[in-house]
Structure 1
Amino acid sequence: MSSRKYPVITLCGSTRFKDEFMEAQKRLTLEGNIVISVGLFGHSGDSEVWENMDEGTLTKTKEMLDDMHKRKIDMADEIFVINVGGYIGDSTRSEIEYAKKHNKKIMYLEEKN
C-alpha cells in the first residue's frame, strides 16, 4: 500500500463554466491530485434542484453551499480558480480572499494579467 501524499485541490469559479470544471477535474486528477469540486452547477444544469424552491429556501441553500465551499477550501492545500475569459464573480472573489487568509496556494485556469 502506497503512502504517497497527494495534494488536495479545491476548484472554485462560476458554475456557468461546467465544462471547464469537468475538464480541470480530470486533468488535475491525472496529474496526481485529489480534486474537490462543486456539488451543484447552479448556472448551467441541475435546474431540477432549483426550480421548485421558494425564495427563502433558495437563499438558505445558497448560503449553505457557499459555507460548504469554504469548508472544502479548508480541506485543500490549494485552490484552482476556473476564470474563463478572466471572469471572477463575487462568490469566487470571496473564496479567493478566504484562501489567501488561510495561506492556501492559488492557481488560475487563465493567467491573470
Structure 2
Amino acid sequence: MNKYNVITLCGSTRFKDEFIEVQKDLTLQGNIVISVGLFGHSGDNDVWKNGTKEMLDDMHKCKIDMANEIFVINKDGYIGSSTKSEIEYAKTTGKSVRYLEDIDE
C-alpha cells in the first residue's frame, strides 16, 4: 500500500454525482480512494434506522484514519456540520486536506 496514496472523500451526500466523478478522477491519478457507503441525502435514506447516522459518522472517521489525506467535496462552497467535524478530525490527526473548490481560510 505504500505505493499508492490513500484518500478519503468527505462532503455532503447530496453531491452524489460529484463524489462519483472525483472518485474516478483520483483513482485514475493513481490513488486508492475511500468513499461513503450510502448517499443519505441522495436517495439512500430509506435504509436508515435509529443509530445509522451515528454509526456512519464514526465509521467515516475510521476511514479518515486509514487515509493519508482527505478530499472535501464542497460544491458551491457548501460544507455542512458533519463535514466540518471530519475536516477538524483529519487536521488533528495530521492528515492533509484538499478541496474540490477553493475556500477562504
Q: Could you say which TM-score interval applies, normalised by the shorter chain?
A: over 0.9
The aligned runs of 1:1-113 (5 Å cut-off) are 5-50=3-48, 53=49, 57=50, 60-113=51-104
Q: Which runs of 5+ in 2 are unaligned?
A: none
Structure having the higher Rg: 1
CA distance in 2, matches of 1:46, 1:108: 24
CA distance in 2, matches of 1:47, 1:19: 16
TM-score (norm: length of structure 1): 0.88
CA RMSD, Structure 1 to Structure 2 (Å):
1.3
Question: SS at 2:8's partner residue?
Answer: strand
Which runs of 4 or more aligned residues in structure 1 lie more than 2 Å from their structure 2 counterparts after TM superposition?
Answer: none
The aligned amino acid for 2:31 is N
Q: Which runs of 5+ in 1 are unaligned?
A: none
CA distance in 2, matches of 1:88, 1:30: 25
Percentage of matched positions with identical amino acids: 74
CA distance in 2, matches of 1:105, 1:72: 14
Residue deviations 1:84-113, cap 9 Å, x none?
A: 000000000000000000010100000113
Residue deviations 1:28-57, cap 9 Å, x none?
A: 00000000000000000224313xx4xxx1
**For this pair of structures, how many residues does the alignment match?**
104
TM-score (norm: length of structure 2): 0.94
